Each structure stands twice: as C-alpha cells, then as structure tokens.
Amino acid sequence: MVTKRLESCMGLRMGTFWPCVLVLGLAVTGYGAEAAAPAAAAVPKIDSGDTAWVLISAALVMLMTPGLAFFYGGLVRRKNYLSVLMQCMIILAALSIQWVLFGYSLSFAPGSKWLGSLDWVGLRGVGFAPYPDYAATIPHQVFMIFQGMFAVITPGLIIGAFAERMKFSAFLVFTLLWATFIYDPVAHWVWGVGGFLRNMGALDFAGGTVVHINAGIAALATALVIGKRKSVDKHPIPPHSLPFSVLGAALLWFGWFGFNAGSALGANGLAGNAFVVTNTAAAAAALMWALLDWTINGAPTMLGTISGAVAGLVAITPAAGFVGVGSAIAIGVGVSVVCFVAVSYIKPLFGYDDSLDAFGVHGVGGTLGALATGLFASKAVNPAGADGLFFGNPRQLLIQAIAVAVTAVYAFVGTLILYKLVDVLIGVRVSDKDEAMGLDLTQHNERASTMLE
C-alpha cells in the first residue's frame, strides 16, 4: 500500500474533486446558501464495488492468521502443536482489540514523521465517511479494519523464530509491546500521513517493509537471544504433520490475494494486476524451490514446495502494484534461490535456531522483494508508482535500500530492547523440564490429540 498506493487513490480523488469544485463554484456565483452547505460538507462518494472488494479482502487477510497457525503448527513437534495454534489465535483476538483501541490511531492518525497521534483512539471520528488521504471511495472504517488484519498477522510471523520454547505469558506481553512500539510506528513511517518513509518515496505496495522485513528481522533478533531448542544440535527436528502445513500454506496463498490485490483499495485494474503477479510469483517460487530440492537434495520435497510458495508471496508483496508478469516470474525464481541458501546454508553456518525460518523466509524474502521493487517497478504498470533501475531510474533502488535498512535497524534494536524488558519482568523461556514435556501440556493444560480413545 504505501505511498504510491495512496497516490493511485488520489487519481480517484480527482474524479470526485472536480464536481465538488463545480458545485462550490455554482454556490459562489449565487445559487444560494442552501447549495453551499452540502457542498462544503461534500463527502467523497463511496463506491460500492470498491467497498465490497476491500471488505472481502479484509476477510481474506484475516484467514491468513489461522493459515499461518496451520503452516507453523504442522512444522513443530506434536507436543507443541497447540501452543503454536494458540499463539496465532490469541494474536488474532488481542491485536484486534489493540488495533481499535489505539493501534490504528498510532499508525494512521495524522501526527509527526515518527508516530501517529492519539486523535483516533477508540476509533473516534473513524466512521462511514471516507478518509481521502488513505482511500477516497470506501468508508474510513473499512480501511481501518483492512489495515487491522495486517497488524494482526505481522507479529504472528515472528512466532516461527521462538516456537517450542517461549512462555505463553511472556509471549503475550512481548507481542502487545511489539505491536505497539515496533509495528505501529513503522506502519506510520511507511503508510501514515506525514510518515517519513512515505514522504521519501519508498515503494511498498502491500507491506513488504512494514510486515515482512519488520517481522523477519524481529524473528532473527528473538532467535538470537532466546537460544536454541534443546536437542536441536544433535539432530534436525522433523515436522510432525506436513499435510497441516500444506493446508496452512494453501490458506496463506488464498488469503494473500486479499493482502496484495486488496491493497489497491479498489475493485480496479490495479487490483487485477496485483492478483495476477501475486499468483505468478508464488507459482514460480514454488517450482523453483522444488527444482532446487530435486537437484541438490535428491528429491522434490513437499516442505520445500510450500516454503517456496510462501517466499514468492512474501517477495511479490511490495512489488505487486508496480510490476508485470515477467518481473513477477523473475522475483519468484530469485527469492527461492536466495531463501533456499539462507535456510539451508546460512542458518547452519551461524548456528541460530530460527525454528521455522521466520527470518529465512520473511526477513530475507521481504528484503529481496523490497529491493526487487527498486529494480522492476515500472510506470507502464502503475503510472502513480515509479520506475526502477531496469527502467532507467537507479535512484529508486537507493530509496528502497534506505527504507529496508531503516526498518531493519529499528526492528532489530527495538525487538532486543522489548525482549530484554519482558525477560526481566516475566522470564521469556520455559524451564528445561517444561520444554521437554512440551508447551501444550505445560502452558495450556491440553494436548492436541489423544493417544488412546
């Protein structure tokens, strides 16, 4: 969404702007005071098609969080299965409340360069009328809830880094702090009125920087400080149910149409383009990862194929509104190669235990996607966007790199501070005994399935 999405909305605004001027002009030239009143209060016209599409998209993005739960849940050992599902579901609940109470205001209410104001706390003033700076043809509340689903899934992505060893209470506090002090400000920088990255001209169509780099870097930071799972050195931990992960990946792919095509904030050609390139990049990346597995590891794996699909979806996210199909294939192929190397070679080299590769896929893939947007973006696809390096504008790549670097540094340092704070207050890691028994029983007093009866 980002700056350029907003500019594309301004195109729509112009459509409503001129009739307003006309009405105003008529009023001034003597058509009477009655005409002036409605004109002054002229509300941009709500488009039912746009509103319907963005509402559906919000629902699609909502489904990604349970999708992520299954994707991650299938990858852990069965003694920790519920703990991952629970972390995802409680995020859906807790952050939905955080968002309407103050998260949306901190992210999107006009404020400083660094943070939104508190003007929209409790959704005060966020109603049926559009807020044209963000989306001129849909109710403000609809824009708010669409954004809310992004705020929900982003901290969910980090779970992959500390899965199987974090105390639930610490997780809950950490997540709320992270959403408030990391996600909300970064969302404001990139998408909010006055945000400094937005003003700089960084392209991020649907949240490559705000969502994937932000969460991916936070994942790396938490994986480094929380330490490895017991026994992970001796042998890799195989997924307990890959079919569940496949189901989750399928739901993510499906929901991503709302994430990316919904970020056009209208039922229009741009949404169609985002839909097509999203599907294309996911497909190219899934195929590429399967081929890499086949040639390097001897067989095309199911886990590799779904990992590739998710990496492709991550990478196309910032680019979806600015690139065409050919670029989408290049981005999909490229991200699979880079993420494959990151999770199979770089992770073992450095020895951190990013359990489910939240950094390896979202951090690395998100960074590649943001930089690739600086290469492949084209005004031929979206006149409201910008040209990238391959279309004669090397400066765009520099802007993209700055946005990546600023977000990564803030997310890394901020996450470490919040982690340490929670560790001092509550203690982040479960005891060795609880880790051995599994988080389902020790954190939730339940097990995912019974062995007998």
Instruction: By CB under 8 A, name the binding residues for other proteins.
Output: 235-236, 238-239, 293, 296-299, 301, 303-304, 307, 340, 343-345, 348, 357
Q: What is the closest distance, in whole angstroms, from the C-beta atom of residue 127 to other proteins in the complex?
A: 47
Q: How far is the CB of 240 from other proteins (least distance, A)?
A: 12
Looking at the Cβ atoms of 110 and 300, the one nearer to other proteins is 300
Question: Which of 128, 294 has the CB closer to other proteins?
Answer: 294
357 alpha-carbon distance from chain centroid? 16
95-118: burial string, b at 16+ Cβ within 10 Å, e else: bbebbbebbbbbbbbebeeebbbe
Residue among 148, 138, 64, 164 nearest 108 (CA): 148
- For other proteins, the closer of residues 357 and 387 by Cβ is 357
H/E run at residue 428: none
Contact of 443 with 434, CB cutoff 8 Å:
yes
For residue 191, give Cα distances in angstroms to 1, 201, 265, 418.
7, 11, 13, 23
| Of residues 293 and 440, the one with the C-beta less far from other proteins | 293
Shortest distance (Å) from residue 160 CB to other proteins = 12
Nearest distance, CB of residue 84 and other proteins, angstroms:
17
What tokens does 191 get? 């998408």
Indicate the residue among 203 and 314 with the shorter CB distance to other proteins: 314
Could you give the C-alpha distances from 63 to 60, 168, 363, 420, in angstroms and in order?
5, 23, 22, 32
As measured in angstroms, the least distance from the Cβ of 216 to other proteins is 16
Please say whether the beta carbons of 192 and 161 come within 8 A: no
CB 178 within 8 A of CB 418: yes
The CA distance from 154 to 217, in Å, is 12
Nearest approach in angstroms of CB 297 to other proteins is 5
Q: How many CA atoms lie within 13 A of 223 on its CB side?
A: 25
Nearest to other proteins of 78, 444 (CB atom): 78
**Alpha helices (runs of H) in 208-268, residue ranges in sequence order:** 214-226, 242-261
Shortest distance, position 287 Cβ to other proteins, whole Å? 17
Residues with Cβ < 8 Å from 223, sequence gap 6 or more? Answer: 161, 162, 352, 353, 354, 355, 358, 359
From 423, 432, 404, 433, select the one nearest 189 (Cα to Cα): 404
Nearer CB in complex with other proteins: 240/447: 240
Give whichever of 16 and 301 is closer to other proteins, judged by the CB atom: 301
Instruction: Output the smallest distance, CB 242 to other proteins, in A.
Output: 9
